[in-house]
Amino acid sequence: MRKANFFYIQLLILVFITCINCTGKSPNLVSSEGGLNEVAIVIDNDLWKGEIGDSLREKLAYPLDGLSTEETALLLKQFSPKLTNNVFRYMRNIVVIETSNETEFIHVENEFATPQNVFYFRGKNVQDILELITLHGEFVESSIRFYELLEIQSKIAMAPFNDKHIKDKFHISMLIPDKYNYALISNNFIWLKRDTSVGSNSIMVYEVPISRFENSKALINNFVEVRDSITQKYIKGSELNSFMHVNHSYSPLVKKVFFEEGMDSYEFRGNWDLTNNYMEGPYLCYVFKDNRNDRYLFVDGFVYNPTQPNRDYIFEIEAIIKSIFFN
């Protein structure tokens, strides 16, 4: 089951890459534009300032959990439909609000550019449109984030990092950008790191025996204990006795997720900091109960970018981890 899912994802990525590069098959479509997680909202100014705008912000631009500062899930940019240059037509993600004789929700792919997703909310009045947003808003948000993950993974697939050490040590594969480098390789621990303009992105892979991390009511406590013991050993600060640990002021957010049939998997989000230091940032960790190898496998990403928003950096880490394949 897992192999089928993995190869299905890889097929989607290959199709995505083909759509990006295959201008010969779509001569009338240009490459889409727009930043990561950016959405063009085509709507009259009055509607944007009213209930419809509030509803769109609630569904698409809610505050993300687990970040050091408040950031929204998606970045919404409003455009008036009266604009004559239609600059929004070439953005990768577009939501169009229109009054119409028909009440309908439509999703169109690659209408003006490629890759592209355009979502139409059409109604006779404000109430009709609000009901459509209530019904389909979550689908729009999850679809955009899904395709944005594919956007990242497709770019990584063009120039992937050589993950041989990870394959040999942990028997997994991941799509990792070639900008990452091995920062540390130890017995049951690997640390990958890439520098950004003002900080860094990191991914750690490590494992512990199942007996050390029991699935129980103390799941969060077990996670914090294991993670802190690993980072205290391997992730050091510049000051004496300085090391990374989970920020205990905020309880980690945890949810169960699906990666492979028969394998319990959990997502943890929260914040980290350094003892005796002022460095801090968000982390995103996936924990896999791998009964075949009598282990809990941790794939753990963290960000240090103190002067910039961290949403897209964490999103890159999510895209990397979600490309995992258990060999």
For 37-57, write each residue's pLDDT tens digit: 999 999 999 999 999 999 999
The reply to whether 9 and 147 lie within a common domain is yes
Which pLDDT does position 5 carry in this prediction? 44
Query: Do residues 92 and 115 touch, judged by C-beta distance below 8 A?
Result: yes
Global pTM value: 0.87
Which pLDDT does position 79 carry in this prediction? 95
Per-residue pLDDT of 74-125, as tens digits, reads 999 999 998 767 789 999 999 999 999 999 999 999 999 999 999 999 999 9
The reply to whether 187 and 263 lie within a common domain is yes
Our count of domains for the chain comes to 2
The reply to whether 14 and 98 lie within a common domain is yes
Mean pLDDT of 63-68: 88
Which pLDDT does position 215 carry in this prediction? 62
Mean pLDDT of 297-301: 97
What is the 3-state secondary structure of 47-66?
HHCCHHHHHHHHHHCCECCC
The reply to whether 42 and 150 lie within a common domain is yes
The domain of 71 spans 2-157
The reply to whether 117 and 233 lie within a common domain is no
Mean pLDDT of 1-16: 43
The reply to whether 183 and 305 lie within a common domain is yes
User: Which amino acid, one-letter code, is at 139?
Assistant: F
Identify which has the larger pLDDT, 25 or 255: 255
The reply to whether 257 and 165 lie within a common domain is yes
The reply to whether 100 and 55 lie within a common domain is yes
**Long-range contacts of 138-145, Cβ-Cβ distance < 8 Å, separation of 24 or more:** 138/59, 140/59, 140/60, 140/95, 140/107, 141/59, 141/60, 141/73, 141/74, 143/107, 143/117, 143/119, 144/37, 144/39, 144/60, 144/74, 144/93, 144/117, 145/37, 145/73, 145/74
Closest Cα to residue 122, out of 146, 148, 103?
A: 103
The reply to whether 297 and 247 lie within a common domain is yes
Which pLDDT does position 262 carry in this prediction? 85
The reply to whether 189 and 247 lie within a common domain is yes
Question: Looking at residue 217, which CATH number applies to its domain?
Answer: 3.40.1000.10
Measured distance CA(69)–CA(229) in Å, rounded = 26
Which pLDDT does position 176 carry in this prediction? 96
The reply to whether 302 and 166 lie within a common domain is yes
Which one of 112, 135, 157 terminates a domain? 157
